[in-house]
Chains A and B, each alone.
Chain A
Amino acid sequence: MKVIDMYDAPHTGRTVTSNDIKISARNVNVFYGDNHAIKDVSVDIEDKMVTAFIGPSGCGKSTFLRCLNRMNDTIESSRIEGTICIDDEDIYDRRVDPVQLRAKVGMVFQKPNPFPKSIYDNVAYGPKIHGMARNKAELDEIVEKALRRGAIWDEVKDRLHAPGTGLSGGQQQRLCIARAVATEPEVLLMDEPCSALDPIATAQVEELIDELRQDYSVVIVTHSMQQAARVSQKTAFFHLGNLVEYGETGKIFTNPEDSRTEAYITGRIG
């Protein structure tokens, strides 16, 4: 149990909830070369909650998300300033191995990117390299559980050894979700996971997110206001690299403080 510090107060003014802070970012700036993509963002993401990032295209949602598991390290031109702590440990500390971090902070990417391997191998890869299964039976179990949570088990259970890239776009995305949850991360970052899904699959994924919330902290980027409203407890609105407003979802959507948030939600900017 932690007391939410004053960083939240000016944004939300909400009451203190009973959740721990999982991720806390302080004065984060991200540059791509000269392009200042994230401007002085400070945010606390709580454990066992779904946090939604919304905002117009190009405002830096994906960039900020990728900072949370240091995927931006792989982009040569990118540079980050400020601190991001997960469980009070600075993830940009010299002692932190990004590989270990990424096992803890899973990610689903904006574009579905299954490995050009079988469906089974796609899901089994993470557990395998992390030594999560002692034998084939255990691995089978992990794979099935992950595929079920990814809401794709029924569609692929008869062709687990068919190529993952042979699935439809929506199925591929759900496979990627299954792959991400198979490694049992503590935080799951999802970059527009439903942009290629039909309403049924979307509903399934949203159900999954809700279920994951029991154990994990989930951060989801979405362009759908309805989705943000449905699945998230907290919402952050980004605009031109700034975190404009962060607070409880209900409040952001019904009674935003900033005029830009209101304009975006009502469809006037974006």
Chain B
Amino acid sequence: MTDASTNSAPAARKGASLHRTDPRTRRRNGAERRFRLYGAAAISMGLLFLCVLAVSIIRSGAPAFTHAVVEVEFTLSEAQFEEAESQLLKTAVYERYFNAALTAQLRDAGFDVAFDENTIRRIIGKTGGTIRSYYRADPDRVGESVTLDLPVSSRVNGYIKGRVTRENLLDSRFLTQADLDLVDAMRDRGLIETKFNWGFLTGKDSGVDNPGGAGIGASVVGSFFMMLVVLVLSLPIGVAASIYLEEFAPRNWFTDMIEVNISNLAAVPSIVFGILGLAVFIQFMHLPQSAPLVGGLVLTLMTLPTIIISTRASLKAVPPSIRDAALGVGASKMQSVFHHVLPLAMPGILTGTIIGLAQALGETAPLLLIGMVGFVARQYPDGVVDGFLDPNSAMPAQIYTWASRADPAFYEKAWGGIIVLLVFLLAMNIVAIILRRRFERRW
């Protein structure tokens, strides 16, 4: 107090003009300006990284959504259909008809490039199976002139998208330089076109040798059933547990310990939950392996702490005077919580839940441990029960599986899968915002 500067400062300020900022004010304003600058810089950095990330994801992933198809006009006569079906190697017959039709079409178009059946096979793969199932699905098509869209092989696809170039292509049994001449010629005449690849969104995982046929649809379904389990279990359990802990439980060493442990659980690596799930749900309880039900249970364990922590925080943020007001008019504890506190905490609870679900949706490691690896996503479940119990994968596990396969075409699929995953996350966040708006009635 006797410090000279503290004593002299007010004296100096007395009577000073308001039109001149004194040095102390100038220093304070300077500090504030600098702080704002740091903040703006931090935000810009964040935005910059976000842009870089978004651009690179879209650039790498977009090709997965398109594929090159060969458009072939084709008519299968009644006689041909019957002959093919009577043979032992049915698909080979279909393939022969098709190759004849394509060759004729190319000749008519005045192609001067030399090619043979093997060339066609290298460009669009074995077509017999596809064509046979096309006609068997709808026998009425026999005898009609139809245009078949047949996806080209993954290497040709890569060539068209620029991933494979003539320079780095070595002649192999998969593709030769000469084949590319035909491909170029077909593209010039519009016989090969790039189209949107619906199969990527609706399809299932394919074998390692068929990246073109791989789709993420089945794992989207797997993720969906898993999220259903997580939501149905973790939201009610998490919210009920938080309400009890926050509003009803006595404060003592036991509840303190629970609180500390919940915080710790939120920081436990997800792979630990995976191995726990493997031990408890599969080895001990004998639930089916690779089932979305088990995946959902494991992710529920992981999500619960997040939901509990955020729910408790938003319950704490409700002013105590509201509780007093409710108790004061004779409401019971439970009425005060459910009529007044919970509605006010709802936006925060929803935000926490959606963040927890989003985390769970993107989780890979625990799923790998309970067998929900990508390549089990080979078929769609037949019904709701199967959806929970049949082996399936989930989006992130599928992406991981694709990324670890050797063929670069799968790498592209992985990026495409990431885009699908991000779209789902975005959708969830939008739902969260809408729900929050609905509950957050500003009074």
Contacts and interface: CB of A to CB of B under 8 A. Distances in A.
A250 to B, nearest CB: 31
Interface string B301-331: 0000000000000000001011111111111
B344 interface: yes
Interface string A104-130: 101111010111110000000110011
A60 interface: no
B325 A183 contact: no
A36 to B, nearest CB: 22
A113 B251 contact: no
Contact of A102 (B251, B319, B330): B330
Given A163-B443, A164-B443, A113 B322 contact: yes
Contacts of A111: 321
A76 interface: yes
A265 to B, nearest CB: 30
A111 B322 CA distance: 11
Q: Which of B251, B324, B330 has the most CB of A within 10 A?
A: B330
Contact of A74 (B251, B324, B340): B324
B314 to A, nearest CB: 14
Contacts of B328: 69, 71, 102, 106-109, 180
A166 interface: yes
Contacts, number: 71
B330 A74 contact: no
B29 interface: no
B11 to A, nearest CB: 34
B329 A125 contact: yes
Interface residues of B, number: 21
Interface residues of A, number: 32
A115 B323 contact: no
Contacts of B21: none
Contacts of A180: 328-329
Interface string B339-352: 11000100000000
Contacts of A117: 443
A69 B330 CA distance: 10
Interface of B: 251, 319, 321-333, 335, 339-340, 344, 441, 443
A194 interface: no
Nearest to A112: B321
A239 interface: no
A176 interface: yes
Given A163-B443, A166-B443, A109 B332 contact: no
Interface string A71-111: 10010100000000000000000000001101110111101
Contacts of B324: 71, 74, 109, 113
Contacts of A165: 443
A115 B330 contact: no
A149 interface: no
A174 interface: no
B245 to A, nearest CB: 14
Contacts of B327: 71, 74, 99, 102
Contact of A76 (B251, B321, B326): B251
Contacts of A163: 443
A179 B329 CA distance: 8
A151 B344 CA distance: 29
A99 B322 CA distance: 16
A115 B331 contact: no
Contact of A116 (B322, B323, B329, B335): B322
Given A116-B443, A166-B443, A130 B330 contact: yes
B443 A99 contact: no
Contact of B329 (A74, A102, A166): A102
Given A99-B330, A116-B443, 7 more contacts: A71-B327, A74-B324, A109-B321, A109-B325, A111-B321, A176-B325, A179-B325
10 contacts: A71-B324, A102-B329, A113-B322, A116-B443, A117-B443, A125-B329, A129-B339, A179-B329, A180-B329, A183-B330
Contacts of B322: 113, 115-116
